């Protein structure tokens, strides 16, 4: 067989590892399996293409985008030699076009529009785009004059160009909507009015379901919707019927779909759809491509879908960045039909689409939590814009809300937080009060391992509390210890990332979890997968917020350190943010962006697909 660069194929994983630095077993065995299955001319190029595709999937991409990787060298040694150099784009495209990987060929790989997919990920991506396009094509069936009347009732004093008002007007005209915005931009208040408007515009009781990716996010959605409902009621905008129609029982996505233990599939799917007329999905940035596919498969044909979220946050842990893909910025504009709808219903003129349109999308940018002049808001804006110099200047110049600790002893710095927040937590015997204290402060880290990772920080805090005599010398768990569930417990309706507290209850140590206004007590023996969570990774905090946050960066640069991660960590703080970071490491993170490759937006816009 002919092999690129004169390289021979590899006899084993160990042989491959000697030739390609840093190769992982999962990548090798996938490439080896597919090479045996596909008798193409250039087996070496196929093997290394599949290797890179496997790496790309582990990094969160849904495909291998050839034009981004053409000519690149991978798996070289420390001197930059060896490894494998991929061909130029024209040569790579020409070679791959002869491999018989068209979608209709039925092969485990699909080559389509300059992207290489594993077939199942191409199925996920195309399935999501096809369903969303069908939903966009379905008319909402509402009378514009009646919609305008309801909009005026729910926004009696708003200006015509009020962003929340425009978002509700836009969503009323279609079956699929994305309402996107950063912290404090009013996404939940907006969608609460949207749900009220939808119910008023239908002559039957809508079956409304609210979901979020994690238990904590679902709990926060419940709290936010209840707060929005109560405030709107006091303003005379919601009546008793509206209050009853808007639910207060958000669930996790897994719970909504119905987990079948030991299986990837769920109880609800295309042949057994959800009993729902309108599905609201909060924190949509956390939902990966396969899960979004399964959620859409389970949605009835006539149902409405509303996605809420912040596309600037970290994307999902698994492959895909669905919300970011669906949220082009700046807004590309509206079709003429949508512009006519918005002018009739909301009385506003909106920009025409230039070369594409995004009728489903509404962007909220005015933050009520972070003012344009406030330190946290300015810092978040500079970070997500990739402006390293400005972000460092803001971090050093806003002492009222921001505090920077560069070059200081990390553990001496941690001692101040232990004394201020965790010593009182361990001496509190009231569970509700303890949860209030826990939500007031959290230490966040970029990594799990290393001297600045959550494992080391949690170990240090535990030791310091024991040294103060607040914890008995024996025993792993103790009253007042904050804990996190680290694996899914479907039978208990507890999921990876849910947080609770160890507390004494009726004389016995129990794990306590909040459920709305109630508390749920469980024996620790029922939850073997628990860990202390005085500190937690930024990834695990999505869907949460705290009064004050202490953000710890590593002392060496890490690939995880990116502007999206820093932005997510910064915006977990409601009032104050303290940062332990070296200037160089901070700026490297701000300059690094998470960029996930997919074809979802192009498919949705029907550009050649």
pLDDT one-digit tens code per residue, 502-555: 998 888 899 998 876 788 899 988 887 888 999 999 988 887 889 999 999 998
List b or e across 217-226, with b for residues whose CB sees 16 or more CB atoms inside 10 angstroms.
Answer: bbbbbbbbbb
User: Residue 529 and residue 198: Cα distance in Å, rounded?
Assistant: 42
Q: What is the pLDDT of residues 137-174, one digit of tens each?
A: 888 888 899 999 999 999 988 787 789 999 999 999 89
pLDDT in tens, 268-302: 999 999 999 999 999 999 999 999 999 999 999 99
DSSP state letters, 244-312: HHS----EEHHHHH-B-TT-SSBS-BTTB--S-SEEEESSGGG--HHHHHHHHHTS-TT-EEEEEE-TT
Listed residue (36, 32, 38) closest to 106, CA to CA: 38
Q: What DSSP line would sit under 82-131, residue for residue? A: SSEEPPPHHHHHHHHHTS---GGG--SEEEETTEEEEHHHHHHHHHHHHH
* pTM as predicted: 0.88
Domains of the chain: 13-118 (1.10.10.1020), 138-368 (3.40.50.300), 375-591 (3.40.50.300)
Q: In the numeric block, which tokens belong to residue 592?
A: 């690094």
Q: Is the pLDDT of residue 7 over 60?
A: no
Q: Other CB atoms closer than 10 Å to residue 102's CB: what's the count?
A: 12
Please report, for residues 537, 544, 557, 560, the alpha-carbon distance to residue 389 in angstroms, rounded to integers and kept in the order given: 25, 28, 17, 20
User: 29-57, pLDDT tens digit by residue?
Assistant: 999 999 888 888 899 999 999 999 999 99
What is the DSSP-derived secondary structure letter of residue 202? S
Q: Is residue 215 pLDDT above 90, yes or no?
A: no
CA torsion 218→220→224→225, rounded to 10°? 20
Determine the pLDDT at residue 8.
46
**pLDDT on residue 4:** 41
Q: How confident is the model over 474-506, as pLDDT tens digits?
A: 678 888 899 998 887 877 878 778 889 999 888
- Residue whose C-alpha is closest to residue 561's, from 591, 595, 589: 589
């Amino acid at each position: 067989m002919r092999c690129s660069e004169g390289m021979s194929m590899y006899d084993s994983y160990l042989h491959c590892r000697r030739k390609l630095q840093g190769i992982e077993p999962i990548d090798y065995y996938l490439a080896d399996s597919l090479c045996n299955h596909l008798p193409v001319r250039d087996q070496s190029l196929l093997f290394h293409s599949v290797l890179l595709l496997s790496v790309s999937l582990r990094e969160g991409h849904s495909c291998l985008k050839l034009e981004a990787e053409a000519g690149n060298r991978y798996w070289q040694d420390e001197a930059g030699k060896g490894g494998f150099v991929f061909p130029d784009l024209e040569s790579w495209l020409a070679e791959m076009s002869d491999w018989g990987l068209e979608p209709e060929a039925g092969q485990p790989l699909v080559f389509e529009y300059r992207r290489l997919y594993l077939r199942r990920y191409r199925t996920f991506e195309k399935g999501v785009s096809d369903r969303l396009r069908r939903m966009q094509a379905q008319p909402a069936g509402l009378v514009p004059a009646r919609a305008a009347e309801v909009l005026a009732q729910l926004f009696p004093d708003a200006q015509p160009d009020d962003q929340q008002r425009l978002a509700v007007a836009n969503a009323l005209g279609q079956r699929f909507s994305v309402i996107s915005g950063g912290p404090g931009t009013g996404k939940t208040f907006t969608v609460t009015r949207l749900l009220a408007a939808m119910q008023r515009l239908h002559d039957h009781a809508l079956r409304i379901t609210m979901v979020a990716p994690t238990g904590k996010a679902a709990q926060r959605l419940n709290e936010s919707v209840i707060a929005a409902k109560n405030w709107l009621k006091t303003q005379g905008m919601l009546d008793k019927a509206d209050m009853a129609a808007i639910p207060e029982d958000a669930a996790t996505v897994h719970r909504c779909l119905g987990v079948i233990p030991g299986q990837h599939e769920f109880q609800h799917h295309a042949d057994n759809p959800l009993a729902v007329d309108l599905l609201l999905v909060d924190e949509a940035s956390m939902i990966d491509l396969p899960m979004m596919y399964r959620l859409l498969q389970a949605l009835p044909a006539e149902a409405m879908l509303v996605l809420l979220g912040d596309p600037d946050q970290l994307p999902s842990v698994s492959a895909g960045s669905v919300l970011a893909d669906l949220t082009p910025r700046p807004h590309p504009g509206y079709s003429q039909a949508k512009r006519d709808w918005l002018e009739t219903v909301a009385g506003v003129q909106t920009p025409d689409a230039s070369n594409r349109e995004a009728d489903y999308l509404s962007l909220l940018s005015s933050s009520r939590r972070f003012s344009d002049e406030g330190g946290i808001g300015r810092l978040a804006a500079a970070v997500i814009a990739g402006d390293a110099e400005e972000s460092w200047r803001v971090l050093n110049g806003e002492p009222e809300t921001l505090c920077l600790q560069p070059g200081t002893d990390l553990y001496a710095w941690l001692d101040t937080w232990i004394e201020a927040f965790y010593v009182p937590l361990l001496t509190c015997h009231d569970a509700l009060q303890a949860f209030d204290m826990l939500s007031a402060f959290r230490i966040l880290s970029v990594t799990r391992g290393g001297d600045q990772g959550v494992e080391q920080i949690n170990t240090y805090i535990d030791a310091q509390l024991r040294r103060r005599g607040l914890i008995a010398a024996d025993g792993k768990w103790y009253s007042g210890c904050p804990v996190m569930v680290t694996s899914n417990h479907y039978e208990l309706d507890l999921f990876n990332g849910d947080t609770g507290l160890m507390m004494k209850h009726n004389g016995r140590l129990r794990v306590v979890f909040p459920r709305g206004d109630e508390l749920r007590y469980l024996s620790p023996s029922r939850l073997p997968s628990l860990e202390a969570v005085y500190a937690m990774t930024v990834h695990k905090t999505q869907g949460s917020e705290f009064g004050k946050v202490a953000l710890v960066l590593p002392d060496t640069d890490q690939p995880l350190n990116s502007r999206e991660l820093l932005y997510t960590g910064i915006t977990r703080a409601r009032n104050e943010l303290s940062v332990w970071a070296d200037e160089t490491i901070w700026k490297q993170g701000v300059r690094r962006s998470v960029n996930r490759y997919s074809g979802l937006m192009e498919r949705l816009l029907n550009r050649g697909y």
